[in-house]
Amino acid sequence: MRDSEDRRVSPHQMRSTGILQRIVSKFIAEDARVLVLDIVEPGPEDSQGDFSNNVTYVSGDVTSPEDWQKALELVT
């Protein structure tokens, strides 16, 4: 999916960590910045890996447009 400025956008839920790490690795390989929005605060295991500096974790409800707006304001 792409946003209005032709950037790749892909919402993913945090708790599917194994899948998330593979997806994030692919985006990082393409010089992407990744936003992870989840209702659960990220734990230490979520910041491990060689891509931790390229990922922004934001607490929020993925079903809430207001939480998405706040999260996007943090990274744009």
The parent domain of residue 44 ranges over 17-75
The verdict on residue 11 lying in a domain is no
- 71 assigned to some structural domain: yes
Residue 7 maps to a domain = no
> Within a domain: residue 9?
no
- pLDDT score, position 56: 84
Per-residue pLDDT of the chain (76 residues; tens, 9 = 90+): 444 555 555 555 445 557 777 887 888 888 888 888 888 776 665 555 555 678 888 889 989 999 999 999 988 8
| Overall domain count for the chain | 1
Kindly provide the residue ranges of all beta strands, DSSP E only, lying in 1-76, ordered along the sequence.
Answer: 34-38, 55-59
Q: Does residue 24 fall inside a structural domain? A: yes
